[in-house]
Amino acid sequence: MTGTIAYLALGSNLGDRLATLAGAYATLAAYPEVTPLQTSRLYETAPVGGPGGQGRFLNAALKIETALGPEALLDACMSVEQGYHRERIIRWDARTLDLDILLYGDAVISTERLEIPHPRMHLRRFVLVPLSDVAADVVHPRLNRTIAELLADLPVENGDVYPVADTWTNPR
């Protein structure tokens, strides 16, 4: 397939988090227009923002090649989320599955539905740590800095992000 390289963030803090992330990976990989190229390690992370009392997240990043355009990829991600009963009631609330498009080639997109690069990715260790596993040398198209450089700028907080598995796409 000739397509665009894109990077996705995956997260879950409700239910069987590992099975959800592995299932989301398998569902995305089943799209004929999506070819997974590389997965990050799996990380457990503290919840950031949103209501208090949330459980910890499992987070990962995925490098793909896709023939889907950015809006169609967003639709695919939202469809996968819905398949895992994602509810969007309170912003940054606990969720069964969260899929975000972080980067789509070197595109800069700002529409009502979609913003690429992800507007807060450079401020979040729970995004940049897994993303650096698969895209450390990739340059952020707005900030003109590599993912590794952006990560190095963020302070480390005790217990915010730590690896729990090197592989996670086939947990059972």
Check if 133 is active-site. Answer: no
Q: Does the active-site annotation cover 93? A: no
> Is residue 163 one of the residues assigned to a domain?
no
Instruction: Name the domain count of the chain.
Output: 1
In a domain, 129, yes or no: yes
| Structural domain includes residue 117 | yes
Portion of the chain with pLDDT greater than 70, in percent: 89
User: Is 121 inside any structural domain?
Assistant: yes
Q: Looking at the domain assignment, is residue 29 inside a domain?
A: yes
Residue of 17, 100, 124, 133 marked active site = 100
17, pLDDT greater than 60: yes
pLDDT bracket for residue 86 (50, 70, 90): low
Catalytic residue selected from 17, 95, 124, 125: 95
> Do 109 and 103 form a contact (C-beta atoms < 8 A)?
no
Q: Is 100 a catalytic residue?
A: yes
Question: Mean pLDDT in the chain?
Answer: 89
* CATH number, domain containing residue 104: 3.30.70.560
Q: What is the mean pLDDT of residues 46-73?
A: 86
Domain coverage including residue 59:
4-158
Whole-prediction pTM value? 0.92
pLDDT of 57 > 60? The answer is yes
Question: What is the C-alpha separation between 10 and 58, in angstroms, rounded?
Answer: 8
Domain assignment present for residue 139? The answer is yes
Q: Is residue 164, in this structure, part of any structural domain at all?
A: no
Q: Which of 41, 56, 75, 86 is catalytic?
A: 86
Q: How much is the average pLDDT of 43-48?
A: 85
pLDDT higher than threshold 80 for residue 158? no
86 part of the active site: yes
Task: Give the percent of the chain with pLDDT over 90.
Answer: 71
Confidence of residue 159 (pLDDT cuts 50, 70, 90): confident
CA nearest neighbour of 59 among 6, 100, 115, 104: 100
Q: State residue 111 phi and psi, 5-degree precision.
A: -125, 180
Q: What angle do CA 125, 131, 135 make, to 5 degrees?
A: 135
* 169 inside domain: no
Residue 136 in this model has a pLDDT that exceeds 50: yes
